[in-house]
Chain A
Amino acid sequence: MKFFRSSSNQTAIPTVPRKLSRRSSGMGEISRLLNSQEGLCVLDMGATSANNIRFFTGQGHKNYSEDLLRSSLDPALRIQDSTGNSVVDSKKFLDENLAYPNAQFDVVLCWNLPDYMEEGLVKPTIDRLWSVMKPGGFLLAFFHTRDAGPDSTCYRYHVTGTDMLEMQEVKFAPPGRPASEKQSPRLQRVFNNRHIENLFRDFASIKFFLARDAIREVLVVR
């Protein structure tokens, strides 16, 4: 499975990462929860964002940062499966990541992680999130629709308002490669509604918000 987009023969031209804004109904619902209570535990699973830290801690909540997509690229996690394919060792991955007590988090921001994470990590990660979330806790995830296409840009998300997000293109250097060879992660798959419902079947409820930018926002309650 390819994690990064193949590099073409084009000469790499350094570009400023694109930033776009979008309104998020799911974030709006989470903001209502954040505004109604104090001292909530928020786990942000996107790239470390000063904006998000400011947003959550400024309201008196506790912020945890864990960039799981980047952590999953650690070459030390790779093993060969029974057919000789290189895969991420999900057990080792979960030994080293998301190592929190049960029922710790009120809010988990998955962003677009499931769409870009390697197949074998998605379900174990969601199962672990179920364990570390409090009953009644909210999880927000974004899923591409089929219209997005395999080369749709991978974004990180900065919270800029109660229901406003700034989207910034994500690029990583492949493991062992210099920073000058950064590439955007490749969309690994497109989940349909049934897949998403199955993924979160242990959770109490699931709500879909369709957006115009080929994204389904999914708000899940533990």
Chain B
Amino acid sequence: MDAPQTSDGAHIGKSVVIKGELSGSEDLYVDGNVEGNIELRNHSLTVGPNGNVKANVSAKSVVIQGKLDGSVNASERVELRKSAVVTGDVTTQRIAIEEGAFLKGKIDIQKEAGKAAAPASS
């Protein structure tokens, strides 16, 4: 299991429950429960192994190790680790999916401006 990424960013621990809108201008690590919407624009969101997020997510990059129920919109990259359980549509330029990850939804790979898409990797 990957260690929590806590450097230079906000951290929501596994005992924390948040309901509502979350927005910020720094990276966010969620290992607790979040219900609502998460908007980080130019920063990254990591849902830790204990994380349970029921939210539409918008960020630069999104790494999921736990559970996410909602749409994911990442301007650069989405990474589903082996323990990820994602129910919702994913829109991004690149997606990486580890063996064992579960995704139920539509995957929309958007081409980078001026480049042919090289979207998914295992």
Q: Identify the interface centre among B107, B117, B122: most chain A CB within 10 Å of its CB.
A: B107
Describe B's contact surface by its main secondary structure.
Answer: strand
Question: A: which residues have CB within 8 A of B?
Answer: 17, 48-51, 53-54, 57-58, 62-67, 70-71, 97, 179
Interface size on B, residues (CB 8 A): 20
Q: How long is the Cα–Cα vector from A62 to B119 in the complex, in angstroms?
A: 13
Does B105 belong to the interface (CB within 8 Å)?
yes
A49 touching B117, Cβ below 8 Å: no
Min C-beta distance of B120 to chain A, whole Å: 4
Q: How long is the Cα–Cα vector from A179 to B81 in the complex, in angstroms?
A: 14
B122 touching A62, Cβ below 8 Å: no
Which of A63, A71, A179 interacts with B107 by CB under 8 Å?
A: A63
Does B74 belong to the interface (CB within 8 Å)?
no
- Interface-forming stretch among B11-19, B50-58, B96-104? B96-104
Min C-beta distance of A30 to chain B, whole Å: 18
Q: Mark B64-80, 1 if CB is under 8 A from A, else 0.
A: 00000000000000001
A57 touching B104, Cβ below 8 Å: no
A49 touching B107, Cβ below 8 Å: no
Q: How long is the Cα–Cα vector from A65 to B120 in the complex, in angstroms?
A: 13
Residue of A nearest to B109 (CB): A57
A63 touching B106, Cβ below 8 Å: yes
A65 touching B119, Cβ below 8 Å: no
Min C-beta distance of B52 to chain A, whole Å: 16
Q: Assuming the A-B contacts A48-B80, A63-B107, A65-B107, are A53 and B119 also in contact, with contact meaning beta carbons closer than 8 angstroms in the complex?
A: yes
Residue of B nearest to A158 (CB): B122
Q: Assuming the A-B contacts A48-B97, A62-B108, are A53 and B120 also in contact, with contact meaning beta carbons closer than 8 angstroms in the complex?
A: yes
B103 touching A58, Cβ below 8 Å: no
Which of B80, B102, B120 interacts with A51 by CB under 8 Å?
A: B120
Give every chain B residue within 8 A of A70 (Cβ-Cβ).
Answer: 102
Q: How long is the Cα–Cα vector from A50 to B97 in the complex, in angstroms?
A: 6
A50 touching B104, Cβ below 8 Å: no
A53 touching B105, Cβ below 8 Å: no
Give every chain B residue within 8 A of A64 (Cβ-Cβ).
Answer: 105-107
Give every chain A residue within 8 A of B96 (Cβ-Cβ).
Answer: 50
Q: List 30 A–B pairs whose Cβ atoms lie within 8 Å, in order of A's numbering.
A: A48-B97, A50-B95, A50-B96, A50-B97, A50-B120, A50-B121, A50-B122, A51-B120, A51-B122, A53-B95, A53-B109, A53-B119, A53-B120, A54-B119, A54-B121, A57-B107, A57-B108, A57-B109, A57-B120, A58-B119, A62-B106, A62-B108, A64-B106, A64-B107, A65-B104, A65-B105, A66-B105, A70-B102, A97-B104, A179-B100
